Amino acid sequence: MWNNMLALDSKNIDALNGIGTALMSKNQIDNAIAMFKKAFEYQPNNPLTKNNLVWAMNEKLKLQTSDKYKQAR
């Protein structure tokens, strides 16, 4: 569904956020961040877009911190 919407309108914020959220659920954080960044470029004042981008970046940071902690042990 989201991909169809995005095919019709590459700047569709709902589609970009929807795809990003789906990617997050699959643990594809970098790809999700890319989608959320695109949405943010088109609508930087959209609260959902800001929230999703911060969420994904925080999840990536948690993962990186966890990996560094594991390596240090």
Structural domains for the chain = 2-72 (1.25.40.10)
pTM of the predicted model as reported, rounded to 2 decimal places: 0.86
Q: Which residue shows structure tokens 């890319």?
A: 34
Q: Decide if 17 contacts 42 (C-beta within 8 A).
A: no
Distance of CA 61 to the CA centre of its chain: 13
- SS3 labels along the chain: CHHHHHHHCCCCHHHHHHHHHHHHHCCCHHHHHHHHHHHHHHCCCCHHHHHHHHHHHHHHHHHHHHHHHHHHC
Q: Tens digit of pLDDT per residue, the chain (73 long)?
A: 778 888 888 899 999 999 999 999 999 999 999 999 999 999 999 999 999 999 999 999 998 888 665 665 5
pLDDT of residue 39: 97
